[in-house]
Structure 1
Amino acid sequence: MISYANRRCYEAGYQEGELIGHRLVDWVEASHREDFDAALETTANGHQVENLELRVRRSDGSMGHFSISLSPMRDEQNAVNSVVVVMTDITDAALLQAKLAHSEKMATIGRLVSGVAHEVNNPLAAILGFTDLLLENPEVPVSAREDLQIILQETQRTKDIVQDLLSFARQRPVQREPVQLNGVLRQTIKLRQTIKLRSYDFASHGVEVVEDFEETLMAALGDSQQLQQVFLNILNNAYDAVQEAGQRGRIRIHTRRQAEMIEVAISDNGTGIIDPQRIFDPFYTTKQAGKGTGLGLSICYGIVRAHGGEIQCWNNEAGAGSTFVVRIPVATEAALAAAATKEARP
């Protein structure tokens, strides 16, 4: 139980009534509580624990990265009677470090996959071409045609994977212009529901889509086609997650302006994310073999970063599912001028 909180806690926005007499572990993210309990037990046994990095709920309800040190306090008989916990919010530093590490990893993998994709493309084109010729040959027996059709389908699937690799490694420059994200989102939802081949119609599959848009939203600065690709990918993943959950699905899309960013939050009540720390890594996927390359969200990450924005995700604290948040700069006059200057450079 918390028996004392110093002045800095209240300056950070915490209220005395929600701290004193309550368990500190309740403020720790559920997935990290076991680590905190273990550290607390270690300290209770007389050993100090330093620089334990955990996610803890901040006063505004958001989750932040904290460096936590625990020190035992002893009475006159040298028995541990309390624990002093010092918590430092390192969210900004942790995010910056993660972004730098991820950018370096993406650049390295980008160079690798670009070379591999180009080498694989040439023999794939030959296989597709000669398979087509054989299928057009009337002398080929029916049994062989069935096998050739399988070869054609699997080769085409491999070609699609190679195209994903090239998209990941060589994203085209962002065409920066004022974009109404509410309109892009509505077009994306409409586009997605017309993809009949993938049976992705929301309503007919028991998935409710809630549009919670700020109607007076300012324009963002970006490329509408690339941003549509980002939102379509996130919506596809949300759809898959709620379908796997085996319950009535609900996807909520919320837009708002936050400081100099336009924020788009897409939440679902699906199965959640197994490892949010790796979700944007290239080739990381939890889907069955043949249903995903693990490059979709990596490409999204690159697109959003190229826009000068950020993309994050987490599992929902209250209820099932996960939330993806995309932030894109507002199209202010200064931002437009800076974008024009950058594009004018040779």
Structure 2
Amino acid sequence: MTQQAPSIPTPHRRARFLDRLDAAVASLTDAGEVTRIACDLLRDDLRASRCIYAELSQREHESSSFGEDQEHFTFPAPAIRPREFSDAAMISLRAGLTFVIENTETDPRIAASRESYRQADVQALVCVPVPKNQPLAAALAVHSQEARHWTPQEIDLIEQVAVRCWESTVHLATLQELRESEENLRLAMEAANFGYYAYELGAPHIKISHRFARIFGYEQTPEDWTFDRWVEHLHPEDRDGILDVVQTSELHNSSIEYESRIFPAGVERTEGNVRWVWLRARYSHRESGRRYRFGVIADITERKQAEAALEASRREAYRQWTELEAIYQTAPIGLSLYSADEFRYLRVNDVQMGVIGLPQDQIIGRPFREIAPALWPACEPILRRVAAGETIRNVMLEGELSTRPGQHRYWTVSYMPVRGEDGTIRAVGAVIMETTAQKRAEQALIQSEKLAAVGRLASSISHEINNPLEAITNLLYLAQHTEGLPQEAADALILAEKELMRVSQIASQTLRFHRQATKPTWVTAVDLLKPVVALYQGRLTNSNLRLVEEHRSAEPVQCFENDIRQVLNNLIGNAIDAMKNVGGRVLIRSREATDWKTGRRGLRITVADSGSGMSETTRRSIFTAFYTTKEINGTGLGLWISFGIVGKHEGVLRFYSSDRPGHSGTVFSLFLPRYG
């Protein structure tokens, strides 16, 4: 038989119960304590055996079972577990409907679970699911140990308490999450060295954090922080710009982000005390119409100092780099950088590009052995020693480069390893000084000394020969005037006198040819050429060569005649050599002429041969010192010295040559200006 419990009195009494409940839990911050007190008050008010509030765990959501074990729901023993309510009960709860049992012994809905109710000593119950109209999350159950009729007022009260328990739980959980979030935010802000502020536009003061105050130099957080106080700390040079940013932000409700300088409180306002801050803020609008600005601030002085130091370091590094680059590119010596493995060109300066004879883009990346194959056998062991860490200085090298064939050159080179930050050898550096000019000058000096020695010897011989020649001439004269001399003997003496005069003439010409003049003299073309031609008369005859002379100028020119004879000697000798063993003609002409470049008047002497002519390579190098086509018999200095002699006379030495079959030959033209 169902027991009729005393009904809840009037709605006023129910309202007083709810007020008493609100008062009992108003100061509580623990959700479990709130639900426990609510259940105790409701149990006592309804004279029930027990009242239980339990939340559905995540595992219950997944398994669709309301309760897996006792500790999930803190049911006091011997409470019935919700999973034993029966399927009908769970369907009702999940549908958001209050499940009511007045007699567990007779209710057919729980027939399969009746024994569980008996063991839990439950004869009647009301179970309210919360929240309503949402997925099942918790339930409030009121048990009675006796069968009982639950009035609508009782059920309504239970439902109201269940809702209040749920709302309190959610509210307190939200507050707890908010407190934890605020604490986490505070810890994160402190860890990031951030301060923050909150400002209601139009309010007299701005709420700032302790870290915010410390950034501005305050040990204690001011309660009366204002926007004007903020502006006072700004650097004068930044103030107007920041005020414009803030005003624009307020006008458009846009976010703010800027970096600025400030002067902290309590310090002298000098550049040495400036601090840098970074600030970011945004606006928030509340339903009440109030506008707030929330922002964070950080002291970025160390970062700015690091940036300034880095920029200064960068500028200094750039300055040093530009200086070194300028030195590298303008140094009067060749500089090269090779890779440490295959010795490929990594860098070359302008001088070294000139040495190699190629532009930079045709050098970089190519191996040394390809640029200078003739030098590679000598350089390879040196480069490998340097790549192993050895520095080698003042290596003397000579040879040809593939880019400039036919030019034998000389260099003094120093090699050194270039190491990386880790100490490993990354490249091989080379300092190259071309000494070709010095070498050729040395050889020219030696040759000049040899020529001078030969000249002195020739002069000495000529002088010594003249003495016995005079004696022999006198004896021949006496013999010719001997009485009774046979005609045959007289003829022989006449021939001997002629040949002796030839010998004397050759000796005199040799002495004249090698005598060094101290000042220029006036001399005609014939006078310049006569001694030279006389020296080669024998070679011309023996080589089956025909000499043709055409002189159309009798006007003298002022020159160092022996130097010019040396030039003519070289030109005529080269012409004879060009027709060696083949015969031909040597043509020598002299005439009045005008230099077409300068307009000066003077003497032009041309020496032409009908030899085989010169190749393109020979024509390019004809005036280069030590360049010769005569193999062992040539020094390569004749035309180089001749070019210099003509230059000292402010004259011009030109040539034309052709190696075409049937039209071959070479013509040299010497122009000497006439002064006075």
Question: What TM-score, normalized to structure 2?
Answer: 0.28
Q: Which has the higher contact order (CA 8 A, sep 6+)?
A: 1
When Rg is computed on C-alpha atoms for both structures, the one with the higher figure is: 2
When normalised by structure 1's length, the TM-score is: 0.46
